[in-house]
Amino acid sequence: MSTYPSIFNDVIGPVMRGPSSSHCAASLRIARLCRDLMDENIKDILIEFDPNGSLATTHKSQGSDMGLFGGFLGWEAHDERLPESEKHLETAGIGVTINIVDLGATHPNLYKITLHNSKETRKLTAISTGGGMIEVIAIDEVPVSMAGDYFETLIYCEAPETIMAFLEASVPFDDLEFHKGEISFIEIKSQAFLEKSMYNELLAMEGVRFIKQLQPVLPVMARRDLQVPFITCDEMMAYNAGKNKALWELAVDYEAARGNIAAGEVFEKMRSIVHIMGHAIQLGLQGTHYEDRILGSQSLQFKENFESNKLVGGETNNRIIMYVSAMMEVKSSMGVIVAAPTAGSCGALPGALFGTAHSMQLHEDELVKGMLSAGLIGVFIAAHATFAAEVGGCMAETGSGGGMAAAAIVEMKGGSLQQSIGAASLALQNSLGIICDPIGNRVEAPCLGRNVMAATNAVSCANMALSNYEQLIPLDEVIETMKAVGDQIHHTLRCTNLGGLSITKAAKKIEAMLEEVPGRFFKSC
């Protein structure tokens, strides 16, 4: 994860298909880098997962395999062929072996991948850090740190001194480093690949064995001497002294500086994401169908009762529940969604914001402002805690989504900046310690209910903040506490399918039925 997260890299995105961003989207990005490392020529792949991590028990059912196979084929995270990626990989003549072996992994989402063709064998080790974000931590057993936000050029060589001096004098770069190991290489991080003439000149130099070029996999690039105006809530408030900017304006300031893009471009980029979210909700309310899932299209029943005025509670709250459900069902049917902040929690934030906006009959611009506001709260969480349920439980996913949504709802209602921050603090306080224990090893239940809980918690906390309830604990300290609490949650309760509801008799029965005949549990729309 970057020291300075991007709203569009780390928080609101990626646009994707699949049940889990930390499984599907992250694995696809890792595999895309593997494909580049092999010059798009892969014949055999060995994938290894540690038995003590999350992936050993979830890699198939939560979409890591699907994402990896699509990435090896060079696809995008929203490619409609992803559910059939294994068949396409077989058709391409690429063999895959998956082993569970003791890797001594210190991170629950560790991928160790060995790639082979008739000419060479390369190795890549990476981790999924949550919400689709990744870090490559080794190439050919040599430690590196790659987030996929640079054009990466690897010059494999033996004697680096002359080559390094040449590069320093001749090549524009953001970072230049020699990595020494059994197989040594120079790594160039830059804003573009080398010009062809420079590439050929380097390749012809004595001591250069070969060159690899890895494309960036994130939408917003990093750069040398990257600076942002603030990275904590306290710093944001100090930055805003005398400016009197709203939370959404501060989000634009942050992302414009982080991505080196114009303020108007930030706003319109978020508008395009809002359109994707809105389309997904509409699709969900039309009914969804997918064989391999455990829940049917329940939002249709809710919609019928909602329109017939048969439900308890206010119009806004029930509209939000309906929208959250619709979004989660699109995710579970392999439709296109936006991980916000993750795929497993993709319903809470858009459900809460769209439900509020539609009930208040707000202009689309207000919805965009709300989503930007939510994104900035997410930046603080990404920088100082985590979005990965494998690291911090469901608190990190739906808890974060609820905190982000609470601040945004206050913004959309015309509350003050201080009230928005208070709402986020209250909502996150209410979410501490929530575990991650998917039933049937699918990211559907209790995930749906927890998304609904996060969205309705956001409404409650927004109203409390608008009524000037005391938050007591500052937002920065709540986020620090999230990190500490996540570290204390037992690994069986962090998306491993080894604890909580995951190991009840009913859940194991559902899991067995799905493994026997995928999609048998619910086949109707």
Find the mean pLDDT for residues 345-374.
98
Q: Which residues pair with 22 in a beta bridge?
A: none
CA 442, CA 287: separation in Å to the nearest integer? 20
pLDDT in tens, 137-181: 999 999 999 999 999 999 999 889 999 999 999 999 999 999 999
pLDDT averaged over every residue in the chain: 95
Q: Would the CA dihedral through 237, 241, 247, 251 be positive or negative?
A: negative
Predicted local confidence at residue 293, as pLDDT: 87
pLDDT band at 83 (very low <50, low <70, confident <90, very high): very high
- pLDDT tens sequence across 271-292: 999 999 999 999 999 999 888 8
Using CA atoms, how far apart are residues 85 and 514, in angstroms rounded to an integer? 19
> Three-state DSSP class for 123?
strand
Cα 41 to its chain centre, rounded Å, is 28
- CA–CA dist 525, 513 (Å, integer): 19
pTM over 0.75: yes
> What is the Cα gyration radius of the chain?
23
Q: Please classify residue 222 by burial: count the beta carbons closer than 10 Å to its beta carbon, then call 0-12 exposed, 13-18 middle and 19+ buried.
A: buried
> What are 2-42's pLDDT values in tens digits?
589 999 999 999 999 999 898 999 999 999 999 999 999 99
Q: Is 42 within 8 Å of 117 (Cβ atoms)? A: yes
Mean pLDDT on 422-427: 98
Could you tell me the domains of the chain?
7-214 (3.30.1330.90), 233-516 (1.10.4100)
Contact (Cβ atoms closer than 8 angstroms) between residue 316 and residue 459 = yes
Alpha carbons 504 and 185: distance in angstroms, whole number? 50
∠ CA 468-472-476, rounded to 5° = 110
In this prediction, residue 2 carries a pLDDT of: 53
d(CA 129, CA 461): 28
Residue 524 has pLDDT above 70, yes or no: no
